[in-house]
Amino acid sequence: MATNPIHSDLTPLPADLGRRWRETFPEIGTGPVPIESMVSRQWFEWERDGIFKRCWLNVGTVDEIPNPGDYIVREIHAAGASILIVRDRDGEVRAFHNVCRHRGNKLVWDFKGHRRGCAWPCRFHGFVYDGKGELVFVPEEGNFKEPLCHKLNLPPVALGICAGFIFINLQKEPDESLETYLGPIASHLGDYPFHNLPQRYHYQSFQRSNWKLALDAQSEVYHVPYLHGQTWPNLFNRPDRPHVESFDMQLYDRHRYGNWPGNPHYQPRDVEIFALGKYSSITRLGQVSQPTGPGINSSNAPDWGFDIVHLFPNTNVLILGGVWHTHQFWPLSENRMLWEIKIHMPEPHNAGERFSEEYGRILLRDALREDGTTHEHTQEALESGAIDSIVLQDEEMFVRHNYWAVEQEIRHWRDGVREHIK
Amino acid sequence: MFYEMMVPRLEAVIDHLNQFEMKDFPEPEQHLMTLLLSMAEVTFAVEKFDADESKYDGLPAERFVPVHEHAAGGLYTPFEYK
Ligand code: FES
Ligand SMILES: [Fe+2]
What is the per-residue pLDDT across A222-269, written as a single tens digit (0 to 9) for each?
A: 999 899 988 887 778 888 888 889 999 999 999 999 999 888 888 877
Query: For position A210, what pLDDT does the model report?
Result: 98
Element (H, E) at A320: strand A315-320
Which range has the top average pLDDT, A189-198, A349-358, A380-389? A380-389
Distance CA A329, CA A327 (A): 7
Query: For position B53, what pLDDT does the model report?
Result: 81
ipTM of the complex: 0.95
CA-wise closest residue to A377 among A259, A223, A244, A271: A223
CB contacts under 8 A, A 138-197 vs B, are none
What average pLDDT does the segment A55-71 reach? Answer: 97
Q: How far is the CA of A375 from the centre of ligand 2 (A)?
A: 10
Query: For position A287, what pLDDT does the model report?
Result: 54
B27 CB burial (10 A radius; 0-12, 13-18, 19+): exposed
What average pLDDT does the segment A151-164 reach? Answer: 98
Residue A335 has pLDDT above 70, yes or no: yes
Query: For position A321, what pLDDT does the model report?
Result: 66
Determine the atom of ligand 1 nearest the C-alpha atom of A127.
3
Ligand 1 touching residue A369 (CB < 6 A): no
Q: Which whole-number Å values give the CA distances from A128 to A65, A146, A148, A380, in the listed order? A: 20, 17, 11, 46
Query: For position A288, what pLDDT does the model report?
Result: 58
If phi > 0 it is left, if psi is from -120 to 50 it is alpha, else beta; for residue A206 that is beta
Residue B71, C-beta contacts closer than 8 angstroms, at least 6 positions apart: A110
How many CB atoms sit inside 10 A of residue A139's CB? 12
Ligand nearest to the CA of A224: 2
Does A272 contact B37 at a Cβ distance shorter than 8 Å?
A: no
Query: For position A278, what pLDDT does the model report?
Result: 62
Domains of chain A with bracketed CATH: 20-40+184-410 (3.90.380.10), 57-173 (2.102.10.10)
**8 Å CB contact between A46 and A55:** no
**C-alpha distance from B74 to closest chain A C-alpha (Å):** 6
User: What pTM, to 2 d.p., does this model score?
Assistant: 0.95
What average pLDDT does the segment A417-421 reach? Answer: 97
Q: How far is the CA of A126 from the centre of ligand 1 (A)?
A: 6
Asked which of A19-23, A122-126, A353-357 is least confident by mean pLDDT, the reply is A353-357
Q: Which residue of B47, B48, B56 is the best one to mutate when testing the A interface, meaning the one whose CB has the most A CBs within 10 A?
A: B48
Q: How far is the CA of B67 from the centre of ligand 1 (A)?
A: 28
Distance CA A82, CA A170 (A): 11
Query: For position A283, what pLDDT does the model report?
Result: 55
Residue A114 has pLDDT above 60, yes or no: yes
Does B7 contact A366 at a Cβ distance shorter than 8 Å?
A: no
**What radius of gyration, in Å, describes the C-alpha atoms of chain A?**
23
Determine the atom of ligand 1 nearest the C-alpha atom of A104.
1
Distance CA A265, CA A236 (A): 10
Chain A positions in Cβ-Cβ contact with residue B47 (cut-off 8 Å)? 269-272
A138 alpha carbon, distance to own chain's centre: 39
What average pLDDT does the segment A98-118 reach? Answer: 97
Q: What average pLDDT does the structure give for chain B?
A: 92
Ligand 1 touching residue A105 (CB < 6 A): yes
Distance CA A338, CA A76 (A): 10
Q: Which whole-number Å values give the CA distances from A227 to A221, A231, A232, B50, in the listed order? A: 10, 9, 9, 17
**8 Å CB contact between A311 and A255:** yes
Query: For position A5, what pLDDT does the model report?
Result: 45
